[in-house]
Amino acid sequence: MQKILVCLKRVVDYNVRIRVKPDGTGVVTDGVKMSINPFDEIALEEALRIRERGDASEVIALSIGTDDSQQQLRTGLAMGADRAILVQTDGEVEPLGAARAILKVIEKESPDLVILGKQAIDDDCNQTGQMLAALWDRPQATFASKLEFADGKVTATREVDAGLEVIEVDLPAVVTTDLRLNEPRYVKLPDIMKAKKKPLESIPVADLGAEIAPQLSSSAYEPPSGRSRGIMVNDAAELVSALRDKGLIE
């Protein structure tokens, strides 16, 4: 296996408390810590481990977004990626648009494996990997918690509702990662300094020729309603009565 392409999305850090803008037009991001989507960070860690075992020769980090996404790509380079590509766009990117843009990079780079997180923590869509596999017309292994490579194939252990499922797919393929696949490494200061010298290519989305215009629009955002105060009941009959009063049972 020669190349592994890893997709990284810039999201609000998972430790940050999400706040809705006062006018309801979106989520507050000014002055907020931004990070690599945690699932994508796991995808990058797995790609680096595959390369370190000698099963791949190059790891490429890819992100789609504004110039600010270079920060997350530099973090990916500090973790160990060999080079990075930023597809520049100032607009909103939905899963289908992201899959189309990634496909154009795939056609340019010809990777043997594409790894990305199973979902992003900002929209929780869990669609990009599946859409990419369909557009690329290659097999997919989603929700992977373990990966093994042999004879041009990847064996993936998947976490499904019924437990664990093991499947084997031919390479090239698309893999999406689950939380239990690995634990990402800690980035050290010397690695951060070295990352500044690694190549980071910026490509305007228009130059790729990918159609990424959003097909959906959001009319307003609002925070979830506050949790109502609980009540104490003395016995089952009182509980049933309280539930009936709230219209939860008949």
- The pLDDT tens digits of the residues spanning 237-247 come to 999 988 888 88
Whether pTM exceeds 0.95: no
User: What is the pLDDT confidence band of residue 231, given thresholds at 50, 70 and 90?
Assistant: confident
* Structural domain boundaries in the chain: 3-219
The DSSP secondary-structure symbol of 187 reads: P
Q: Which CATH number fits domain 3-219: 3.40.50.620, 3.20.20.100, 2.40.440.10, 2.60.40.1120?
A: 3.40.50.620
Instruction: Report CA Rg, the chain.
Output: 21
237 φ, ψ (degrees, to nearest 5):
-65, -40
**Interval 131-178: pLDDT, tens:** 999 999 999 999 999 999 988 899 999 988 888 999 999 999 999 999
User: What is the pLDDT confidence band of residue 2, given thresholds at 50, 70 and 90?
Assistant: confident
